[in-house]
Amino acid sequence: MGQDSTPPLDIPLKLSGTFGEFRPTHFHAGLDIKTQGKEGFEVRAIKAGSLKRINVSISGYGKCLYIQHADGTTSVYAHLQKFAPKIEAYIKKYQYKKESFTIQRALKLNELTLEEGEVIGVSGNTGGSEGPHLHFEIRETKSANPLNPLQLGFDIKDSIRPVIQGLYLYSIFRDKASKKTALVLDKKNDSTYVADIQSLGGTFGLGVRLFDRQDLSYNRNGIYKAELAVNGSTRFSYSFDRIDFSDGKKINALIDYVTYREERIRVQKLFRNIGVDYSFLPKEAPNGYMVFEEGHSYQIQLMVEDYAHNKTYVSFYVEGAPHELPSPPTPNPNEVSPLKDYLFTHAPYEIYLPKDTFYAPVQLDIRSANDTLYVKEIKQAQRKGFTLEVKVPEGLDSLQLQQLCLAKIDPRAEENENPLQYVWTNKKDSILKTTSAYTGTYIITKDSLAPSIEPLNFTPEQWMSNYTHLKLSIDDDFSGIQEYRATINDQWIRMEYESKDKTLIYDFDDIDFKEAKLDFRLEVKDNVGNVEVYETSLFRKPL
Query: If pLDDT is split at 50, 70 and 90, which confidence band does 416 have?
Result: confident
pLDDT at residue number 174: 84
pLDDT in tens, 344-403: 999 899 999 999 999 988 888 899 988 899 998 888 889 999 999 998 877 788 888 889
pLDDT at residue number 222: 96
Q: How far apart are CA 406 and CA 423, in angstroms?
A: 5
The mean pLDDT of 258-269, rounded to a whole number, is 93
The mean pLDDT of 445-458, rounded to a whole number, is 96
pLDDT at residue number 183: 97
Does residue 210 come out as left (phi exceeding 0), alpha (psi in the -120 to 50 range) or beta? beta
> Which one, of 220, 198, 196, lies nearest residue 210 by Cα?
220
Give the number of C-alpha atoms closer than 13 A to the C-alpha of residue 44, restricted to the C-beta side.
14
CA–CA distances in Å: residue 373 to residues 351, 390, 392: 10, 10, 14
Q: How far apart are CA 403 and CA 46, in angstroms?
A: 49
pLDDT in tens, 6-49: 999 999 999 999 999 999 999 999 999 999 999 999 999 999 99
Q: Residues 78, 84, 85, 87: is their CA dihedral positive or negative?
A: negative
The mean pLDDT of 303-330, rounded to a whole number, is 91
- Kindly give the pairing relationship between strand 146-147 and strand 133-140: antiparallel
Helix (H, G, I), strand (E, B) or coil at 163: strand
pTM: 0.93
Q: Cis omega (within 30 of 0) on the bond before 348?
A: yes
pLDDT in tens, 156-188: 999 999 999 999 999 998 888 888 999 999 999
- At residue 400, what are phi and psi to the nearest 5 degrees? -60, -40
pLDDT at residue number 542: 87
CA–CA distances in Å: residue 291 to residues 287, 300, 313, 323, 457: 12, 12, 21, 11, 69
Q: Please check the confidence at residue 318 and state whether its pLDDT lies above 70.
A: yes
DSSP H helix total and E strand total for the chain: 3, 44
Note whether 341 and 352 are within 8 A (CB).
Answer: yes
pLDDT at residue number 488: 97
The mean pLDDT of 86-93, rounded to a whole number, is 96
The mean pLDDT of 412-433, rounded to a whole number, is 86
pLDDT at residue number 332: 73
CA–CA distances in Å: residue 290 to residues 172, 229, 236, 282, 318: 9, 9, 10, 19, 10
Note whether 381 and 362 are within 8 A (CB).
Answer: no
> What is the residue-wise DSSP string for 195-258?
E--EEE-EEEEEEEEEEB--TT----B--SEEEEEETTEEEEEEE-SB--GGGGGGGGGGB-HH
Give the number of C-alpha atoms closer than 13 A to the C-alpha of residue 66, restricted to the C-beta side.
20
pLDDT in tens, 183-239: 999 999 999 999 999 999 999 999 999 999 999 999 999 999 999 999 999 999 999
Please give the DSSP secondary-structure letter assigned to residue 384. Answer: S
Query: If pLDDT is split at 50, 70 and 90, which confidence band does 1 have?
Result: low
The mean pLDDT of 484-494, rounded to a whole number, is 97
pLDDT at residue number 372: 92
Radius of gyration of the chain from its Cα atoms, rounded to whole angstroms:
28
Q: What are the structural domains, with CATH classification, of the chain?
A: 15-152 (2.70.70.10), 163-320 (no CATH), 335-446 (2.60.220.30), 452-539 (2.60.40.10)
Helix (H, G, I), strand (E, B) or coil at 370: coil
Which range is least confidently modeled, 291-295, 518-522, 539-543?
Answer: 539-543
Which residues are within 8 A (CB) of 480 and not within 5 positions of it... i.e. 6 or more apart?
A: 422, 526, 527
- The amino acid sitting at 207 is G
pLDDT at residue number 461: 94
Query: If pLDDT is split at 50, 70 and 90, which confidence band does 3 have?
Result: low
pLDDT in tens, 387-412: 999 988 777 888 888 899 999 998 87
pLDDT in tens, 213-223: 999 999 999 99
